[in-house]
Structure 1
């Protein structure tokens, strides 16, 4: 969109690539300060997912994600046009009555008050899409996508959940293969969705993840399977596994926090994702294990999709295609909660 002078371009080409901060286990995540952006790290995202109930009682799933990505351009370049930080956003709505995912995406260089991720407190925006955290901890979400609008308040009902060791979350066999990561489960949703010029009041429950890192995946990793689930009794369940290019488990972790705050951690030997049924995309021909069993220790959780087609094609922004969908969670044949299941790297290995 904007041109850069020849002299500036030469300076950018000659400059050494920036040195990004690394994730280390001796750093403790501090909230609310760390709810804001961390521009010295290469990659960061704020990721809100949840289940909504319409006035007629029918369910919907939603996802809104903001990414901040630092580039290799010289971060000391004083030009306001220098593309040192990129802001990317995805939004999706799952409606079983349609049988397909409604989704949209945006991307832009940070700057000019139009695209930004502010430090110190969550405030990230891209044009008329915004996620902002108030001083009371409540989030406001505004998304005006191509086929729908989302206008929500996300109100905390529990304390944030620091993942891993006080927010240091291992993603591979090497200590540097890690991220800083916390979650806000059991968020109460209130607001509206709009489609075809008509707004509906919705309520629901959501999960918000905030994660930042520099070198998060092992060299042979192809992607991950991840679950964030709000259970009906107030329990929060998070689990993930990193997969290699041949499908083997590279790393895994899970955590279960009771409503009273008692937390149980599961190491990689105690976490398994067991595919039960695959769905093949008619667009990409990728096969996703949309119906799976998650095993944490001796407990099995059955994951069943709200609808099979929840594939999001973001090749115009992040360059990836992934399945990210609303799922019900059952235990011993009884429904116990709802969550979101993310499956990446099934079309091609994921790259940051």
Structure 2
């Protein structure tokens, strides 16, 4: 076994043993670039990879429905994780790529993953033209002009499922945090983070029962950093919500084994104007749990953002939406009731069986 393959296996073993996974997001970032609040996001360049940062992802979720009103959810994610802060050709590349895909119905949940080494063409991201891929999974720009993320085609497949979708943005990109600088802890760990939460989607899901034509709404998150969590944070609860009035909400709760959780939120008006909220403005309270894969997972939540008169209850479309992959976690669509109605997505990491 050559040294590169051995390094890949060692990285996977170390990451799988960590509750945080994905290269130990709370560990020291020596040698890697660190986000700065003074730096500005630049498009379309920042749609591409940043090999001097340790961890990065292109992450899309969609709430979909068929002609009969049945709800579905899909997820497509490409992760880049670096063993060293540079890029190189062939097996000399220290960049690791991991793809996750999921499809959720009210009765079933499907998940698949792909793994690749950078530098050999099996996975990567280009900016001109924009394409993110791993094996035959792809997120490809179809925009004739303007921002490359304005129009996309998206495809993935796994055992028992596949999807092929087209996405069209109706509003501009949205920075998260302060102009894209998203703080994650009281100690100041942070990431660069922006979203496209205004996709209209149509396409086809392939299920064991046959093809299903769907339409709906999508949300793309772009985030990169080198140490986005503090050492004592061991998981997160993250939401992206499409409200029926046209507004959007991004929020997260980072759980800390030594203290109170750290929260952040961005209220996005129907015209795309963001209002960021600091730690403590948003509260996320678990209401009910479901035993999923031997672990108690919160699958019903109370979400409160008093500054926007927001008081919501989230209910999982399918409580058993467990991504049983190299780094296991829960992720699936939710329905919204309370002061506002709508649909969204919930992702929860760091929950393991007692």
Q: Which of the residues 255, 269, 287 maps onto 1:276?
A: 287
Cross-structure match for 1:300: 311
Specify every segment of 5 or more residues in structure 1 that has no aligned partner in the other structure, as ranges.
6-16
Q: Which runs of 5+ in 2 are unaligned?
A: 5-28
CA contact (8 A) 1:44 1:213 kept: yes
Give a deviation string over 1:122-151, Cα, whole Å, max 9, x none: 422111011122344211111122221111
Q: Is the 8 A contact 1:170 1:178 kept in 2?
A: yes
Which residue of 307, 310, 325 maps to 1:314? 325
Q: Give per-residue Cα distances to partners, 1:138-196, cap 9 Å, x unaligned.
A: 11111122221111111101111100111000001233x10000011121111111124
Query: Which residue in 2 is equivalent to 1:329?
Result: 336
Give distance in 2, aligned partners of 1:193 and 1:330.
27
User: Aligned equivalents of 2:323 and 2:290: distance in 1?
Assistant: 14
TM-score (norm 2): 0.85
Following superposition, the deviation at residue 252 of structure 1 comes to: 1.0
Alignment counterpart, residue 218 of structure 1, candidates 227, 230, 243: 230
CA distance in 1, matches of 2:261, 2:170: 34
Q: 1:88 aligned to 2:92?
A: no
Map 1:131-210 to 2 at 5 A: 131-135=139-143, 136=145, 137-175=150-188, 177-196=189-208, 198-210=210-222
Quote how far apart the aligned CAs of 1:120 are: 6.0
Structure 1 residue aligned with 2:249, among 237, 243, 259? Answer: 237
Paired residue for 2:119, among 84, 99, 111? 111
State the shift of 1:253 in Å. Answer: 0.8
| RMSD over equivalenced CA pairs, Å | 2.3
Aligned partner of 2:345 among 336, 340, 352: 340
* Counterparts in 2 of 1:89 and 1:39: CA distance versus 1, 3 Å: same
Regions of 4+ moved over 6 Å: none
The answer as to whether partners of 1:18 and 1:75 remain within 8 angstroms in 2 is: no
Decide whether aligned partners of structure 1 residues 261 and 114 sit closer, same or farther in structure 2, where only a CA change above 3 A counts. Answer: closer
- Tell me how far apart the structure 2 counterparts of residues 244 and 122 of structure 1 sit (CA, whole Å): 37
CA distance in 2 between counterparts of 1:228 and 1:109 reads 30
Secondary structure in structure 1 of the residue aligned to 2:280: helix
TM-score by length of 1: 0.85
Per-residue deviation, 1:291? 0.1
